[in-house]
Amino acid sequence: MAILAALGPRGPTPRTAPGELAPALVERARTGDAEAFRALVLHHQEAVHALLYRLLAPSGREGQVEDCTQETFLRVYRALPGFNPQGAAKLSTWILTIATRLALNELRRPSLVVPVAELASLPVASPHRADALAERRALGQAIRDALGQLPPDQRAVLVLREMHGLEYAEMAEALDLDLGTLKSRLSRARAAMRAALEHHHG
């Protein structure tokens, strides 16, 4: 399922979350240090933006990605004093949990937007590469379309696992699911994506 990386909004995005910030910096951010919080945002903003894009764009809600990114960090700012650095959740997972729940709430709202999002145009370096680039665009769009057909809850588990590398326990915590339900949901999402891609290549 690594092919799903074709959905990256701003070029390649690492599969895993960025490394954790130094505990001292996190503690400064928790106690209201503005510079420390700015460093926290800069460290995690690409992963948050990518997650929200992958959850919202297939439903035609690209226009909400920036707003949801800002809202995520506003909620992080408000809740950070209560975050326990010695707790079970890593800071990166905790932040992605906030973003995921925000995206799912957005996807549950009625929308008048028709999902007609297209992948950004890729530059053609030379004529002989045109066919390969066209195929990549077509495959990326097929993946986007297939993701858009998934129920939001299935889309969330697929994105968190395949694109952000969260462990099952982290995903269960983020989505407030038991492991059995989570694995079943992920299995159904993977099967739907495989079927969609087989149809694309068929």
CATH at 195: 1.10.1740.10
In 3D space, the residue among 127, 113, 128, 12 whose CA is nearest the CA of residue 59 turns out to be 113
Domain that holds residue 157: 7-111+129-201
For residue 120, being part of any structural domain is answered with no
The CA radius of gyration of the chain, in Å to the nearest whole number, is 18
- In a domain, residue 103? The reply is yes
Q: Which residues of the chain have pLDDT under 70?
A: 1-18, 111-135, 139, 199-202
Domain-embedded: residue 39: yes
Q: Which residue is it, tokens 């995690």?
A: 44
pLDDT at 149: 87
pLDDT at position 124 is: 42
What's the pLDDT at 70?
96
Residue 118 maps to a domain: no
> Residue 80 domain-assigned?
yes
Determine contact, residues 148/115, Cβ cutoff 8 Å: yes
> Which three-class secondary structure state does DSSP give residue 117?
coil
Report the pLDDT value the prediction gives residue 123, as an integer from 0 to 100.
45
How many other CB atoms are there within 10 angstroms of residue 5's CB atom?
15
pLDDT at 193: 87
Looking at the chain, how many residues does it have? 202
> Does residue 122 belong to any structural domain of this protein?
no
Residue 179 near residue 45 (C-beta atoms within 8 A): no
CB 159: neighbour CB atoms within 10 A? 26
Of 28, 18, 168, 158, the C-alpha closest to 95 is 18
User: What is the model's pLDDT at position 133?
Assistant: 67
Burial 84-122 (b: 16+ CB within 10 A, else e): eeeeebebbbbbbbbbbbbbbebbeeeeeeeeebebeee
Residue 51 lies in a domain: yes
Inside any domain, residue 182? yes
Q: What is the DSSP string of 74-115?
A: HHHHHHGGG--TTSSS-HHHHHHHHHHHHHHHHHHS------
Helix (H) / strand (E) containing 183: helix 179-201
What is the total count of domains within the chain? 1
